[in-house]
Amino acid sequence: MLNLPKIEKRSSGAQLFMQTIIGRASPRLIGLYREKSWLIFDVLFPMLSVIGYVLIYQAIGAPADYIGFVVVGGAMTAFWMNILWSMSSQLYWEKETGNLPLYISSPAPMMGILLGMALGGMVATLIRAAAVVILGSLLFHVTYTIQNGLMLAVVFILSMIALYGLGMMTASAFLLFGREAWHIANLAQEPVFLVSGFYFPLKFLPFWVSAAASLIPLTLGLDAMRQLVFTSGATLGFLNVNLEAIILAVLSVGFIVGAKLLLGYTERLAIREGRITENRR
């Protein structure tokens, strides 16, 4: 008989939940130090798109603030890509690589795993996005006029909570998809960059397009941040910043509750239909 060491301390409840969050977040943070190549792939290559869009604006003689809009928008794409490929698709990848049954059969709560993924991804992506902003600002001499630092922090934090709440919710939804998951994540890039106004002020899109796109938290978050850090931002804003902050707060609560409900539904469905370990290539 196999002699396994005796488990001396069993965690449960809030302690287990916290340990799960830390446990799932840590690989994403440790990876930043162990695998330095992200500096090239996650900073340098996104910078190429930013440079391309900036040069277009420069070629058509756009005002200086538009260069800043592209730099900030380009940095925020890192968060959207993280949501698509490291949150929404993550449980699908875990199923593909065989980790998902281990997660589910372990005592760790799935909500804790999703929160850990979100927290680790958020911090890692924040560093990448900051690098893009710093590099882009230095390269193109972008000037920022921060009008309300506290509001800026509030809007950013609300955007992140709502965005990663959306990521947690879609992680469960993507688990239900088969081979479609990769294609759906792939499809949700350029169209979202377009309707969310990553590279131009949202105000220039038709109102109902912008209103519908506001379900994606980065749409309003980016619009509010631009209003708070650029001189011409307020005149080019879609909605009032306070209203945008309220909508982001509502989205945050809605997406996190939605994530909890959808995760429960997915688990029940998967157990009932025996699809939790199904691997359809």
Q: Which residues bind other proteins (CB under 8 A)?
A: 35, 37, 41, 45, 48-49, 51-53, 55-62, 66, 97, 178-180, 183, 186-187, 189-191, 193-194, 198-201, 204-205, 281
In angstroms, what is the minimal distance from the CB of 17 to other proteins?
27
Please say whether the beta carbons of 163 and 109 come within 8 A. Answer: no
Measured between its terminal Cα atoms, the distance across the chain in Å is 38
Token reading at 269: 């469905």
In angstroms, what is the minimal distance from the CB of 182 to other proteins?
8
Of 210 and 252, the one with the shorter C-beta distance to other proteins is: 210
Of 52 and 101, the one with the shorter C-beta distance to other proteins is: 52
Of 30 and 146, the one with the shorter C-beta distance to other proteins is: 30
- Write the DSSP string, 241-266: HHHHHHHHHHHHHHHHHHHHHHHHHH
Of 149 and 204, the one with the shorter C-beta distance to other proteins is: 204
C-alpha count within 13 angstroms, C-beta hemisphere, residue 229: 24
Of 207 and 264, the one with the shorter C-beta distance to other proteins is: 207
Pick from 97, 95, 114, 90: nearest CA to 275: 95
Pick from 176, 193, 171, 174: nearest CA to 111: 171
Of 28 and 252, the one with the shorter C-beta distance to other proteins is: 28
In angstroms, what is the minimal distance from the CB of 239 to other proteins?
18
In angstroms, what is the minimal distance from the CB of 67 to other proteins?
12
In angstroms, what is the minimal distance from the CB of 98 to other proteins?
9
In angstroms, what is the minimal distance from the CB of 177 to other proteins?
10
CA distance 66 to 74: 12
In angstroms, what is the minimal distance from the CB of 204 to other proteins?
5
Please say whether the beta carbons of 197 and 73 come within 8 A. Answer: yes
Q: Phi/psi zone of residue 225: left (φ > 0), alpha (ψ -120 to 50 degrees), beta?
A: alpha
Please say whether the beta carbons of 22 and 116 come within 8 A. Answer: yes
Of 47 and 87, the one with the shorter C-beta distance to other proteins is: 47
Pick from 117, 95, 116: nearest CA to 104: 95
